[in-house]
Structure 1
Amino acid sequence: MAASGDQTLLIVDDDKSFSQRLARAMEKRGFLTETAESVSEANAKVDASAPAFAVVDLRLEDGNGLDVVEAIHSRRPEARAVILTGYGNIATAVTAVKLGAIDYLSKPADADDIHAALTQRPHDKAEPPENPMSADRVRWEHIQRVYELCDRNVSETARRLNMHRRTLQRILAKRAPR
């Protein structure tokens, strides 16, 4: 894993139950974990002692997880950070990598996926997904993402998607496609 044998891992996510479950799972895999729920709390922990590994949520209540990745990378350039997000797009993935992240995973990601991302060799290629999402599922995920970005405002979401409000309401009322 880390060249120096340092197994410190900082998990930054405002979903406390998720971060606690992930911390327990990563401790079973040999990491010494710490958690933080905000950018300010994470930056304070990084200033005290920059971790060898980090798992950082992109959207936090008090800011952007990319700021945490940047702080970690400036204090410890060899640190391996993974960004987790439910709001993924190419622009933020590119920015995350430029700031020092080694991978960008969409939620929900399990501990095995996160462990694999943290411990992969620098030149290993990612495996293609075994079960890629269907086109209907990708469309549904995009609609859900825009809906959340609009603070669950149906009218604003419909306007941004160039869709009739009632059509959007029918889509939102249905279950997610497989």
Structure 2
Amino acid sequence: MSEQQPNSQNAASFLLIDDNATFGQLLMRGFARRDLNLLWVPDSASALATTAPLQGIILDLNLDGESGLQLLPALLARFPKVPIVVLTGYASISTAVSAVKLGASQYLPKPADVDTLLAAFGPWELEPQEALAWVAFQPSVRKQSWEYVQFVLQQHEGNISAAARALNMHRRTLQRILQKKPVSQ
């Protein structure tokens, strides 16, 4: 477990759960510049073992082969009143819907800077000259179609026949669509 030492006793503390050490170090420095504590842990076991009082949790969706969505209910049980922001390099509508349904307070695509993350937790005092750089996430029509197919499939619990009926298409057509790579943009 790799945790940063607190900057001061009265500073707000956040927890970052991300398997990318470089990203963790960058965010730790960014939070420290704002006199905020960021504890960084690389896995779910370390996250659930954290005992520090937290104002927020930043959870990566992909934790070295583990799904952050599977960790979300355990985090909510362990830290019931702490808001959780899901952060991912693989943003999609279906995972965003799933994250919010499971209890995440926000869902942000990477890259996200410190100000964007803090804004996701609510009103924090930020430097006035630092405007929030919100990422405009507008997927292409192909990407939206892919996401909708994934959403409908998830709604039908992976049942391809039921999803095909809901999409008003032949089951084999849906199978061919699902065999293709996900659309990146």
Q: Give the TM-score normalised by structure 1.
A: 0.61
The reply on whether 1:109 has 2:109 as its aligned counterpart is no
Report the more deviating stretch, 68-77 or 100-109: 68-77
- Larger-gyration structure (1/2): 2
2:13 to 8, 23, 26: 8
Amino acid at match of 2:49: A
Gaps of 5+ in 2: 1-9, 125-131, 147-178
Between Structure 1 and Structure 2, the one with more helix by share is 1
Hey, what does 2:32 align to over in structure 1? Answer: 27
User: What does 1:16-55 align with in structure 2 at a 5 Å threshold?
Assistant: 16-45=21-50, 48-49=51-52, 51-55=54-58
Hey, what does 2:82 align to over in structure 1? Answer: 79
Report Cα offsets for 1:76-95 as digits up to 9, x if no partner: 22201111111122222122
Gaps of 5+ in 1: 122-126, 143-158, 163-171
Number of positions where the alignment pairs a residue of Structure 1 with one of Structure 2: 136
Would the aligned equivalents of 1:43 and 1:68 in 2 still touch at CA under 8 Å? Answer: no
Amino acid at match of 2:83: R
CA gap 1:62/1:29 in 2 versus in 1, 3 angstroms: same
Q: Give the TM-score normalised by structure 2.
A: 0.59
Would the aligned equivalents of 1:73 and 1:100 in 2 still touch at CA under 8 Å? Answer: yes
Report the alpha carbon displacement of residue 72 of structure 1 after superposing the two structures with TM: 2.5
Report Cα offsets for 1:50-79 as digits up to 9, x if no partner: 632111100011512223332222122220
SS at structure 1 position matched to 2:40: strand
